[in-house]
């Protein structure tokens, strides 16, 4: 019984500690999470450019074949 | 490495996104963070005007040389430029909604840019309405010169003569030293160059694909 109580109290203690320190991964949360937006747009931009490069290569191939 | 400028376009635009969203901007009421739209909305128009300028140069070249290649380049520059113009209109409209409170207003600059777009739509329609290649090229080239003069009048001259809601009203149509501080220039100029390089790349792809199509026929 005593042990259970101790475990229970420890559990509560853990919970409260967890609540106090939920702010993890602070880097992406800073400044109203603007860095997340930057990351998303950067990835979209990178993807679009990769796509453009592949189109460019396809056109080059066609030009060679002709 | 003949593709260096394509990589440069990518790097400049990546810098535009990162720097454009993170670097400090002047704090102004009404505008607030939307001032960052300057890095994205304004380069659309710069790019469009640049492509239309290239187009009219190739139209004049076509008139003096009758080279159909020049005509093709002129056409595809307009095709690509129109896309950037439409993007400029839409982004400007959204920006206006949240700063001026309306999507569209009968402002000299807004109407001027809309009329310019219509003039260039007419160029593309005029082209597609003719069959004979030589004649089409020549008439389109002459019209293109007229269209570019209209662009200068509606975007370059008239907005300077009337008051406008748009930044730089009754004087400079785009911005002046008050609107653009040194911090913003760091991002704005690379943005303009980046967008222009990207647009030339897309126009270049359009031209090459069209040439392939012509060969097939």
**ipTM of the prediction:** 0.78
Contact B21, A30 (CB under 8 A): no
Q: What is the pLDDT of residue B159?
A: 80
pLDDT, tens digit (0-9, with 9 covering 90-100), for B150-160? 999 999 888 87
Q: What is the pLDDT of residue A66?
A: 77
B175: CATH:
1.20.120
Does B209 sit within 8 Å of A34, measured CB to CB? Answer: no
Percent of chain B with pLDDT over 70: 94
pLDDT, tens digit (0-9, with 9 covering 90-100), for B161-193? 777 777 755 444 555 555 567 788 889 999 999
Using 50, 70 and 90 to split pLDDT, how confident is the model at B142? very high
More confident residue, A6 or B82: B82
Domain that holds residue B204: 4-216
Provide the mean pLDDT of chain B.
89
Contact B62, B70 (CB under 8 A): yes
State the smallest CA–CA distance between residue B6 and chain A in angstroms: 9
Does A53 sit within 8 Å of B6, measured CB to CB? Answer: yes
CA neighbor of B77 nearest in space, from B194, B216, B196, B214: B196
State the smallest CA–CA distance between residue B156 and chain A in angstroms: 31
State the smallest CA–CA distance between residue A24 and chain B in angstroms: 21
Of A38, A41, A66, the CB nearest to B212: A66
Contact B121, B82 (CB under 8 A): yes
Q: What is the pLDDT of residue B171?
A: 47
- Regions of chain A short of the pLDDT cut 70: 1-31
Q: What is the pLDDT of residue B109?
A: 87
Q: How far apart are CA B143 and CA B149, in angstroms?
A: 10
Locate the chain B residue with the closest alpha carbon to A45: B14
**Does B13 lie at the interface with A, CB-CB under 8 angstroms?**
yes
Domain positions in chain A are: 25-66
The region of weakest confidence among A15-19, B44-48, B96-100, B202-206 is A15-19
User: What is the torsion angle, in degrees rounded to the nearest 10, for the CA atoms of residue A17, residue A20, residue A22 and residue A24?
Assistant: -100
Tell me how many domains chain B contains: 1
User: How many interchain CB pairs under 8 A, A with B?
Assistant: 41
Torsion sign, CA atoms B159, B161, B164, B166: positive
Using 50, 70 and 90 to split pLDDT, how confident is the model at B23? confident
Contact B48, B85 (CB under 8 A): yes
Q: Which residue has the tokens 């009968």?
A: B106
Q: What is the pLDDT of residue B18?
A: 93
């Amino acid at each position: 019984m005593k042990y259970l109580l101790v475990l229970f109290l420890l559990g509560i203690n853990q919970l409260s500690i967890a609540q106090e320190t939920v702010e993890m991964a602070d880097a992406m949360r800073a400044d109203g999470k603007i860095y997340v937006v930057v990351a998303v747009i950067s990835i979209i931009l990178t993807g679009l450019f990769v796509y453009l490069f592949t189109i460019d290569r396809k056109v080059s191939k066609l030009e060679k074949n002709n | 490495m003949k593709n260096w400028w394509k990589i440069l376009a990518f790097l400049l635009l990546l810098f535009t996104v990162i720097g454009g969203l993170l670097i400090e901007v002047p704090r102004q009421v009404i505008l607030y963070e939307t001032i960052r739209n300057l890095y994205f909305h304004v380069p659309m128009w710069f790019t469009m005007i640049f492509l239309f300028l290239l187009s009219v140069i190739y139209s004049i070249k076509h008139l003096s040389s009758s080279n159909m290649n020049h005509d093709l380049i002129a056409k595809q520059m307009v095709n690509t430029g129109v896309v950037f113009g439409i993007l400029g209109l839409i982004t400007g409209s959204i920006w206006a909604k949240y700063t001026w409170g309306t999507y569209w207003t009968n402002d000299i600059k807004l109407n001027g840019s809309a009329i310019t777009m219509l003039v260039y739509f007419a160029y593309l329609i005029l082209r597609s309405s003719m069959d004979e290649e030589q004649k089409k090229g020549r008439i389109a080239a002459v019209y293109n010169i007229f269209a570019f003069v209209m662009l200068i009048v509606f975007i370059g001259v008239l907005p300077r003569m009337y008051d406008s809601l748009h930044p730089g009203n009754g004087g400079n149509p785009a911005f002046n030293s008050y609107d653009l501080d040194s911090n913003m220039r760091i991002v704005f100029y690379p943005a303009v160059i980046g967008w222009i390089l990207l647009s030339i790349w897309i126009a270049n792809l359009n031209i090459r694909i069209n040439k392939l199509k012509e060969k097939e026929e």
